Amino acid sequence: MSVEESPVGPVIRPAEDTELVILYLHGNQDGPEPALDLARRLALLTGATVVCPRYRSAFPAALIDAHSGYSYCQAAGPVVVLGEGIGAALATAMLVQLRDSEATSPRCAVLLSALLDLTLETKSLLFNASTDPAFDIIALRQRVTAYARNTPLTDSRLSPLYANLHGLPPIQLLAAGTDPLLDDSLAFATRAARSRVTVDLQVWPENTSFRAEAVQAMADFIRAKHPAMRAGAPA
């Protein structure tokens, strides 16, 4: 397995790939490097190349960068989109725009501990944040304000929970029951299912088991949605 730098950001290449490419929109304010460990594990389990693009920290530039990353991935093969944290909002907003432009959609999407409502008014954000010493709600509010600039937080390009979800590809949502962002996944899964989107929602009781098992759950979902992998690609 190798790590290379590309025009859009780091790329993880497994020794034997499946021609599938995963676009991993991380949620890290300081760039994709902290996400590379998860990217390596996902590449190992799926045999897919994982692209971790850099994106600017404000809207709409971040969304433009996400589309650039997606175009880069498309040139290499069929694409799966993975978004984590605020990267999940970016990933889902991109899915909606791809649908509206009638561009080729990814095979499926995975949203991990997803921030999908940037108004930050959910009950889980208030209740669960108090039990997680590593979660800084003040820093999150500051980041969201800086990211949105003057765009209303209910704008669906920022908060895809409010978007028209009809016609999106199959989506997996993964979260822990103790996750401050849990309600975002629950509300989005409900709205997506009502829009006849195929949804796989999985919630772990607590964060330790979630972090240990989520990568395998993602790999299983991606394999199920990619025929070449079901036919004998790496397990």
**What domains sit in the chain, N to C, each tagged with a CATH number?**
2-230 (3.40.50.1820)
Which residue blocks in 28-85 are alpha helix, DSSP H? 36-46, 61-74
Task: Take residue 71 and report the two structure tokens written for it.
Answer: 């175009």
Residues present in the chain in total: 235
> Half-sphere exposure of 201 toward its Cβ, with a 13 Å CA cutoff?
16
Judged on CB neighbours under 10 Å (0-12, 13-18, 19+), 169 is middle
pLDDT for 153 equals: 97
Q: What is the pTM assigned to this prediction? A: 0.93
Q: Residue 13 pLDDT more than 60? A: yes
pLDDT for 177 equals: 94
117-127: average pLDDT: 93
Predicted confidence (pLDDT) per residue in 214-226, tens digit: 999 999 999 998 7
Backbone φ and ψ of 24, nearest 5°? -105, 100
Predicted confidence (pLDDT) per residue in 31-42, tens digit: 899 999 999 999
C-alpha pair distances (Å), 231 with each of 29, 44, 79, 234: 38, 17, 17, 10
Backbone φ and ψ of 32, nearest 5°? -80, -10
C-alpha pair distances (Å), 206 with each of 71, 78, 102, 127, 132: 36, 33, 39, 14, 11
Report angle CA 202, 204, 210 to the nearest 5 degrees.
Answer: 105
Q: Where on the phi/psi map is residue 162: left (φ > 0), alpha (ψ -120 to 50), or beta?
A: alpha
C-alpha pair distances (Å), 41 with each of 58, 157, 169, 217: 29, 30, 24, 12
112-118: average pLDDT: 97
24-59 burial, b at 16+ Cβ within 10 Å, e below that, comes to: bbbbeeeebeebbebbbbbbbbbbbbbbbbbbeeeb
Predicted confidence (pLDDT) per residue in 186-198, tens digit: 999 999 999 999 9
Judged on CB neighbours under 10 Å (0-12, 13-18, 19+), 74 is middle
Question: What are the DSSP calls for 78-89, one per residue?
Answer: -EEEEEEEHHHH
Q: Answer for the pair 144, 153: CB distance below 8 angstroms, yes or no.
A: yes
